Amino acid sequence: MLFNTLQYALFLPLVFVLFWVSPQKWRVWILLSASYIFYMTWKPIFILLILGLTLGNYYLGFAVHKSEKYKKCWLTLAIVLNLGTLAYFKYAYFLCETANQCLQPLGLPAASLPFKIILPLGISFFVFEFIHYVVDVYRGHQPIKSFPAFALFASFFPTQIAGPIKRFQDFIPQFLAPAKLTIKQFDTAISLILLGLFKKVLIADNLSFFVQGGFSQPQLFSGLDLWVFAYAFAFQIYFDFSGYTDIARGSANLFGYKVPINFNLPYLASNISDFWRRWHISLSTWLRDYLFIPLGGSRLSKWLNYRNLIITMTLGGLWHGAAMHYLIWGLYQGILLVAHKEFQAFKESQAWLKKAFETKLGQVASIVLTFHVVCIGWVFFRAETNALALQMLSKMLTLAPTIEQVAGQTRDVAMLLPTINYPLIYPSVFLLLPLLALAHIAMGYINKTNLIERAPKLAKIAWCCAMIFVVLVFSPDKSPRFIYFQF
């Protein structure tokens, strides 16, 4: 069941009514049942996986808390249980393929799996939430006594498939406290859901058709063309994922619960470290707290700190998918973070350079440069193979745009526009990209400042009517799944 479907439009109001007409003591159970039904609409059998991991981590949390002598052993068992489950479902094919690449030159028989493995939806997200729970109990937090509350923490349907990755210290108290919903909260929730649908259905989905044309056949386009496709994907993935997060936040708000913001104007970041403080915040903070810091963080020598950064980001890339291009994307992010730290140290030693970056022009240049290095990374992320990514980048980074290429770009892009329902929205690619940048800033500002929550009631009604009209009129015939559903 996708957020942008009629099924969800019927499911959410039904759960909302059942939740608020029921006594307080039944509400957690209603949400838990709804969350399991929500998951079972995909493949019912995998509810057993969620139940098994929930029971295992619930009791292992108590074992970690109660046992002083074997505390670390219980923690290790919990981590092995969670990571082992993730590795089996997500990385078995990848490991088998990698092994075959190593065995083939030696003339050894290829390895194969005798059965098909289906990747459970949302497994990367709820496994990370389970690991966070047992590690924090190990660090001294009290385990959760209420099993229904713990089960709901891991399976809450608005965040079940693609996050944000929750922290139990922030979320469980909300489940245990009496739920309250004001008219203002209700208005804000509906506005957030419609904002998310606007981002997903109108912007991200239409961009997906445009992006597919460039990334599937990069040999047909010039380097300048491919830069445009990279820019377009940068905005597609932002509006797709932040749109999902807005719908998740709005859905949670309908039950009186708050879900953390996952994005904070990421394409206005002035450097790559700043970008990762703004992009997929729940994942980047998880990687910091449960991987980077346990590796030693920045407490060690400079080069060990750099090693930890590269390991953390490389594994973060692999978390997104069992493919070499995700691993390379993560490695690229780690190298960028190391390069930024080295440049920061050099900049601090050069007064003239530091002063130059503090000017308005220097700040704008930093944002533009950061956006472009992020877009280079998105090429690895989006391309189906590293070979395709390198083919694109070789043209993007070596071919200077000529007058003929600029003309060719407009012609080639125009050929792709008919695949979009309403090409009049995109009269030219040169108009499209600035509009996307403005939309990124405007919608990011709305989230950052809680503008919807603070708006007058009439303004909210007008906003909702406008969003409904735009989504119904300008949405494509077929809406692709959210990008992060595959992770």
Catalytic residues: 320
**Cis status, amide bond into 164, omega within 30 of 0:** yes
The pair of structure tokens assigned to 47 is 């509810």
Per-residue DSSP letters for 208-263?
HHHHHHHHH-GGGS-HHHHHHHHHHHHHHHHHHHHHHHHHHHHHHHTTT-------
What is the three-class DSSP state of 361?
helix
The pair of structure tokens assigned to 141 is 């937090």
Closest CA to 58 of 175, 137, 140: 137
The pair of structure tokens assigned to 116 is 């098909």
Buried/exposed code over 220-256 (b: 16+ C-beta within 10 A; e: otherwise): ebbbbbbbbbbbbbbbbbbbbbbbbbbbbbbbbbbbb
Q: Is the distance from CB of 450 to CB of 250 less than 8 angstroms?
A: no
State which amino acid sits at residue 422: Y
The pair of structure tokens assigned to 433 is 């990209």
Please tell me the distance from the alpha carbon of residue 88 to that of residue 365, in angstroms, as a whole number.
45
Place of tokens 């307080």: 24
Q: Is the distance from CB of 185 to CB of 249 less than 8 angstroms?
A: no
SS3 content of the chain, % helix, strand, coil (to 5): 75, 0, 25
C-alpha separations of 333 from 157, 162, 366 in Å: 31, 21, 17
Q: Is the distance from CB of 18 to CB of 256 less than 8 angstroms?
A: no
Please tell me the distance from the alpha carbon of residue 445 to that of residue 268, in angstroms, as a whole number.
11
Place of tokens 């219980």: 74
φ, ψ of residue 83 to 5 degrees: the values are -70, -35
CB half-sphere exposure, 456, CA atoms < 13 A: 3
Judged by phi (left if over 0) then psi (alpha if -120 to 50, else beta), residue 180 lies in beta
The pair of structure tokens assigned to 417 is 């526009």
**Measured on CA atoms in the order 371, 399, 335, 97, is the torsion positive or negative?**
positive
Q: Supply the Cα-derived Rg of the chain in whole angstroms.
A: 24
C-alpha separations of 107 from 96, 102, 104 in Å: 16, 10, 5
